[in-house]
Structure formats: structure tokens, C-alpha cells
Structure 1
Amino acid sequence: MNLPNKLTVLRVIMIPFFIFFLMYKEGEDAGFRVAALTIFIIAALTDTLDGIIARKYNLITNFGKFMDPLADKLLVCSALICLIQLKRIDAIIVTVIISREFIISGFRLVASDSGIVIAAGIWGKIKTVSQMLCICLLIMDIDTLSNFTNIMIYVMLALTIISLIDYIVKNYKVLSKGGM
């Protein structure tokens, strides 16, 4: 297993630890929240790092193509679901975000059955950055940043919807050849 794939697996392994620290004492323990935030940031950075290494050293594998986006979805969805429980984000917003991920995964699955690999577009990458930033703000839960955090939630939601529309528009013809 190459280094990028090890980083992807590490990201998945970090998720239960992240959840434990985030949810400890209902998210009220500042020290545990900082630990959760640290784990989340490290996990998010491994996503960037594994992609850079894989492309630079031509270490792109089928395992990485499958697991890297799955690891990202697991990390983001786990965080958002926990943040619902902690009453920091509305379940409807999280449902829209998770639904987008299922729709895109379905499109990619249909495309892969036809031997087509659909790379992430710029809107998807911007969406991911906004999600990571917003989740960090929600984990920190700083009163003086609450207005900014609320704005970021809606920016994240808008980018989620924009990236979904962009993805469908750009890939519909490719996917219609795959039997859709």
C-alpha cells in the first residue's frame, strides 16, 4: 500500500477518535473539543496531502480513487451528524448535504460501470473547503463568531447545491451513455 492510500486509511481510522472527542460530555468540554478540532484538521489535511503525493509521484490507484472520496464523505458526514446532536446545525441542512453526496456517488457508480471516471470539479473542491471550514467553526462554537458561523452554514449549503448542479450539467451526457 502506497503512502497516499495509507493517509486515506489513516483518515478513516481517525473518525471514531474525532467523534469520541467531539461528543464527550455533549461537546461541552473545551479540552476535548480542541482535541476533536485538531483531529478533524489533521484528517482534512491528509485529504489534501494524499492527493498531492499521489499526483506528484504518479501513485494513483483504483483503491485511492474509490476510498479517498469515501473517506472524505465519512469524515464530513460524521462531523455534521454529530453537530446535529450537539444542536449546532439544523438536520435539514445536513440532509441536503448528505443527499448531494449520495447523488454524486450514484452518478460516479453508474459512470464507473461504463469505465468512465469522473474527476471532482472546481465547485466540488470549493464546496469541500467550505464544509471543512464551516465544520471547524461549528466545533469551536465561539459565541463571538456565531453570526459568521451562521453565514458560513448557508455559504456551505449554497456551494453544496451549486456543486451538485454543476456536476449534473457537466456529466449528464456522459452518464446517459452509461444507461441512465
Structure 2
Amino acid sequence: MIDYAKERLCINSKSIHQSGISNGGILSYSIIAKLSDIFASIAPVAASPLLGYGDLPGSPLSIIDLHGTRDTVVPNTLTQALGLGPYDSLVSSNDGFYYEKKSSTIKRYVDGFNCTSISSPWKTDMDGVKDWSCDLWTVCIGGMEIVNCTGSFGHNYPFGAGKHTQAARIIWNFMKTHEKQDI
């Protein structure tokens, strides 16, 4: 599909990004393991890799991850999960699947791409709304960055009905400043 679009449209191949919510966010994590050389960034929302499908991408790309602290469908932490599964995974109370802990996923990317080991705040216009905050890891291989945002919401876009555009703006602001780097 990307090759088809590149042949027919004026596309900046250094600015191809992917986002999805829930299963679409799970796809984000799965697809980058195989196609990280194409994408500049991904933006999974309310998603974590399924156990065994969170491989480190083959080439660096930036990541902004948005995940609610009240999500029981794809749990963010043990607090929302039905319990622990194999390999320190989290069991969803909704579907019984095993999801990676978000902290483990982020740590694997931070370590795997030699980012700064300590995060700093990544500021947005929504900081503090429903406990919203974002952490940023920089100085990663290829100039990539990793941002992990959380807030008090469930298995949906942040900030509730009528304010979903705020989350889209946050994602867009990240994507437009993160092009694919030549390594």
C-alpha cells in the first residue's frame, strides 16, 4: 500500500507514520518489528504488545504511546489486570490475553536504542487534565525519541467525549517533528 501511494502521490518518505487504538495499536507494535525501516514513528493508543510480539524494531523509529491508567481491556499495569501471566505479562480481564507490561516494553526500547536511561517530562497542552503526563527519553540511536503518556482514562482516547481531538493533536505534534533519519 505504501509503495502504491508513493508511486501515485507526492509523499515525503521520511514522514510516514502509523497510529491505531486498541487492536490497531497492537498492530503498531507488531508492524514495526518487520517494517521499521519504512516508518518514522508509531503512536499506539490503549495498546501493548501481545506476549511474544513486542520485538525490538530492526531500525530506529520514534514512538509516542498513550495509555490510560484505568484500562482493563489492555491493562497498562498490574492494578488493571486480572493478574500476572507467564514471563511477567499482564492478563486482561476482558479477553484473557497476555499483554506485555508497558513499563517492560518502554524499557526494552529505551535500552535497545541506547536512549537516555532517565526520562524527562514531555510537555503538552493537556498536562494535569485527568492526571495526564508524558515522559520523554532522548539521545536514542538515529535521533529517535520515545514518549510514554498516561492519564486517568480507560480503554479509549484520552480526555473523554468531545475532547478526543486533543489526543490527536498531541500525536500530530509529535509526528510532525519526527522524520525518519538516515543511519
Structure (1 or 2) with the larger CA radius of gyration? 1
With CA pairs under 8 Å and 6+ residues apart, which has the higher RCO, 1 or 2?
1
Instruction: Give the structure with the larger strand fraction.
Output: 2
TM-score range, shorter chain: under 0.3
**TM-score, normalization by structure 1:** 0.28
Instruction: Give the structure with the larger helix fraction.
Output: 1
